[in-house]
Amino acid sequence: MPQLGETVTEGTITKWHKQVGDAVAEDEVLFEVSTDKVDSEVPSPVSGTVTEILVPEGETVSVGTKLAVVGDAAGLDASAADSVPSPQVSEPAPPEQALAVAPGQMEAQAEPLGVAGQTAGTSETAPAAQGAPGGQAAGRPAAGGLGSAKLLSPVVRRLIAENGLDPAEIPGTGAGGRITRDDVMAAIERRGAGAGPAAAAVSSNGGAVVARAPAPQAPSYTPPASVAPTVPAPRPGERDTIVPFTNIRRRTAEHMVRSKHTSAHTMVAVEVDYSAVEKVRLSQREKFKAAEGFSLTYLPFIARAVVDALAEWPYLNSSVGEDELIVHSEVNLGVAVDLDFEGLLVPVVHRAEEKRLRGLARDIFGLASRARGKRLTMDDISGGTFTLTNAGGFGTLITVPVINQPQVAILSTDGVKKRPVAVQLPDGSDGIAVHPVGNLVMSWDHRAVDGAYAAAFMAKVRDILQSRDWAAEL
Domain positions in the chain: 10-210, 259-473
**What b/e readout covers 267-288, taking b as 16+ CB neighbours within 10 angstroms?**
ebbbebbbbbbbebbeebeeeb
How far apart (Å, rounded) are the C-alpha atoms in residues 356 and 31? 36
The yes-or-no verdict on residue 224 having pLDDT over 70 is no
- How high is the pLDDT of residue 186? 82
Could you read off the pLDDT of 287-304 as tens digits, one per residue?
A: 999 999 999 999 999 999
Most confidently predicted of 112-121, 350-359, 368-377:
350-359
The yes-or-no verdict on residue 60 having pLDDT over 80 is yes
DSSP for 195-207 reads SPPPEEEE-TTT-
CATH classification number, 10-210, choose in 3.40.640.10, 2.40.50.100, 3.30.930.10, 3.40.50.150: 2.40.50.100
SS3 38: coil
Could you read off the pLDDT of 100-116 as tens digits, one per residue?
A: 433 333 343 333 333 33
For residue 79, the tally of other CB atoms under 10 A from its CB is 18
Q: Interior CA angle at 451 toward 448 and 452, to 5°?
A: 110
- How high is the pLDDT of residue 356? 95
Instruction: Name the residue among 29, 32, 74 with its Cα closest to residue 51.
Output: 74
- How high is the pLDDT of residue 96? 39
Residue 255 and residue 105 in contact, taking contact as beta carbons nearer than 8 Å: yes
Tally of CA atoms within 13 A in the half-sphere of 207 that contains its CB: 25
**Percent of the chain at pLDDT exceeding 90:** 49
- The mean pLDDT of 268-284, rounded to a whole number, is 97
Strands 333-335 and 386-390: parallel
Active-site positions? Answer: 446, 450
- The mean pLDDT of 237-247, rounded to a whole number, is 90
160 bridge partner residues? none
The mean-pLDDT minimum among 182-186, 200-204, 240-244, 285-289 falls in 200-204
Residue 202 dihedral angles phi and psi, to the nearest 5°? -115, 125
Residue 5 and residue 37 in contact, taking contact as beta carbons nearer than 8 Å: yes
- How high is the pLDDT of residue 26? 86
- How high is the pLDDT of residue 227? 55
- How high is the pLDDT of residue 6? 53
Residue 380 and residue 364 in contact, taking contact as beta carbons nearer than 8 Å: no
Instruction: Name the residue among 86, 62, 76 with its Cα closest to residue 176.
Output: 62
- How high is the pLDDT of residue 74? 57
SS3 226: coil
SS3 462: helix
**Percent of the chain at pLDDT exceeding 70:** 72
Residue 401 and residue 386 in contact, taking contact as beta carbons nearer than 8 Å: no
98 bridge partner residues? 69
- How high is the pLDDT of residue 374? 82
Residue 441 and residue 414 in contact, taking contact as beta carbons nearer than 8 Å: yes
- The mean pLDDT of 358-370, rounded to a whole number, is 96
Q: How buried is 101 (Cβ within 10 angstroms: 0-12 exposed, 13-18 middle, 19+ buried)?
A: buried
Could you read off the pLDDT of 395-420 as tens digits, one per residue?
A: 999 999 999 999 999 999 999 999 99
Record: fold of 259-473: Chloramphenicol Acetyltransferase (3.30.559)
Could you read off the pLDDT of 136-190 as tens digits, one per residue?
A: 333 333 333 333 344 566 567 777 887 888 888 898 876 557 787 778 888 888 8
- How high is the pLDDT of residue 214? 43
The mean-pLDDT minimum among 197-201, 275-279, 368-372, 448-452 falls in 197-201
- How high is the pLDDT of residue 265? 97
- How high is the pLDDT of residue 166? 87
Instruction: Name the residue among 107, 82, 223 with its Cα closest to residue 162.
Output: 107
The mean-pLDDT minimum among 81-85, 289-293, 439-443 falls in 81-85
- How high is the pLDDT of residue 261? 94
The mean-pLDDT minimum among 36-45, 162-171, 251-260, 278-287 falls in 36-45
Q: Select the more confidently predicted residue: 357 or 157.
A: 357
- How high is the pLDDT of residue 35? 74
Mean pLDDT value across the chain: 78
Tally of CA atoms within 13 A in the half-sphere of 4 that contains its CB: 25
Tally of CA atoms within 13 A in the half-sphere of 117 that contains its CB: 17
Residue 120 DSSP label: T
